[in-house]
Amino acid sequence: MLNGKFICFEAKTSNEDKFILKNIKQHQLEYLILMQSHGAIAFFVFYFSKQNEFYKVDPMYIDSELKKNKKSLHFEELKENSIKIELNFPGVLNLLQ
């Protein structure tokens, strides 16, 4: 909880320059969208190991890309449509920035 708001997220990782969207299960996406619709802070955290970077991604963005029948999101594309998350300390991310 943060300021009375529920917080939920799903963490995903990719060893490539793209993320394969079938790695997001339908129930994971539906849950985040549902929680967001009820006022929760809900998002995906993507980690790209080649770039060693983390990104906070809105579930509605993922949903819109899936509705376009996209199979994957390239790193640059995701980077432009998300918020970079800084690693504050080894193993500690500032998810709510």
Structure tokens at 70: 């996209």
57: enclosing H helix or E strand: strand 53-57
Residue found under tokens 């009820």: 38
Q: What is the pLDDT along the chain (97 residues), one digit of tens a residue?
A: 667 889 999 999 999 999 999 999 999 999 999 999 999 999 999 999 999 999 999 999 999 999 999 999 999 999 999 999 887 666 655 656 6
Domain 21-90 has CATH 3.40.50.2300: no
Report pLDDT for 96. 61
Structure tokens at 35: 């929680």
Report pLDDT for 93. 56
Q: Give Cα separations from 6 to 13, 49, 58 (angstroms).
A: 24, 29, 15
For the entire predicted model, the pTM comes to: 0.87
> Hey, how many other C-beta atoms are within 10 angstroms of the C-beta on 18?
15
Report pLDDT for 90. 61
Instruction: Report the distance separating Cα 78 and Cα 15, nearest Å.
Output: 14
